[in-house]
Amino acid sequence: MTDVDAQANESNRLSLPAWVPLVLGVLALVLGALALYLFVQGDDVPANDSADVGFVRDMSVHHTQAVEMANIVYRRTDDPDIARLARDIADTQQFQIGMMTGWLDIWGHTVSSEQLLMEWMGDHAMTLPPPPPGLDDDDSPAGMDASASPVAGDAETPLMPGMATTSEVKALETLPVDEMNAQFLRLMIRHHQGGVAMAHAELDLGNDDMVKNFAQQVVNTQDNEIATMTTMLNAITAGNDASDSTSLPDMATPVAATPEAHDEDH
């Protein structure tokens, strides 16, 4: 090996992977947004029993199941568009889980709570649209397992509106791939419908500008993904590949919500 080759190898060894600057950039955005939030808010943080804290806790639970389903499907699917969708959902919602966990930590609140799931909504009306064809409409708020912990619960009872049952999630591991692709779209459409309804409740009941801005981002993003997944599901049930009749929208790198962004949206 020549000195030139040795220098080239050493340079390659010391060079950073291409994704490292992106991750560092996103981390800087998160830290900057949190610093701005602390500067603006001071000691005025949401109370433990507030709608803002309840929404952040419950949406973290909701997101966790979406990440679990998306990771299963990303690993098993043979459809490139479904693989891309699953990867986008897993990456975006895992990022947002970390962001929400950071908020709770800064506010001095725990991630888990003795409060019941959705208790923060009080008497707020929460109505979901009909589920996609192939799913039973058995996840209305009246039938939720509100007494269950976020990590436990009846395998046949969703924890919150739109969430899949434990058995439905496990079935994604064993269904034939073609059936899994379609069922994933059904479950994720319903999951997003529940997430959007929760986000609207936060917009109506919450007081924290940063959390409300995040809720609006959830509504915008997941409404768009519901439309995309509905088109993909229709293509699959018609006997075509999901990519035959739709192209996935470009999904921007997720960023931390800020009060300024909320003001721009309105």
The model's confidence at residue 126, banded by pLDDT at 50, 70 and 90, is confident
Percent of the chain with pLDDT over 90: 58
Q: Is residue 136 part of a domain?
A: yes
Is the pLDDT confidence value at 187 over 50? yes
Q: From 182, 183, 159, 184, select the one nearest 59 (Cα to Cα).
A: 159
The reported pTM is 0.75
Residue 28 counted as domain residue:
no
Count of CB atoms situated within 10 Å of the CB of 239: 7
What's the CA angle centered on 64, arms 225 and 221, to 5 degrees?
Answer: 20
Find the domain containing 98 and state its range: 45-265
Other beta carbons within 10 angstroms of residue 121's beta carbon come to: 20
* pLDDT grade for 161, boundaries at 50, 70 and 90: confident
- pLDDT band for 193, please (50, 70, 90 cuts): very high
- Percentage with pLDDT > 70 across the chain: 66
Residue 94, number of CB atoms within 10 A of its CB: 17
Does residue 113 lie within any of the structural domains?
yes
Whether 143 is in a domain gets the answer yes
- Asked if the structure places residue 94 within a domain, the reply is yes
Q: Which residue has the higher pLDDT, 265 or 41?
A: 41
**Average pLDDT of the segment spanning 234-256:** 59
| Token pair listed for 199 | 């986000």
For residue 208, is pLDDT > 90? Answer: yes
Counted residue by residue, the chain has a size of 266
Residue 50 in domain: yes
pLDDT at position 31, please?
Answer: 61
Total domains in the fold of the chain: 1
- The verdict on residue 73 lying in a domain is yes
Q: Which of 29-38, 151-160, 202-211 has the lowest mean pLDDT?
A: 29-38
Q: How confident is the model at residue 82 (pLDDT cuts 50, 70, 90)?
A: very high
* Within-domain flag for 20: no
Per-residue pLDDT band for 17 (boundaries 50, 70, 90) equals low
For residue 211, the domain's CATH number is 1.20.1260.10
How far apart (Å, rounded) are the C-alpha atoms in residues 42 and 224? 35
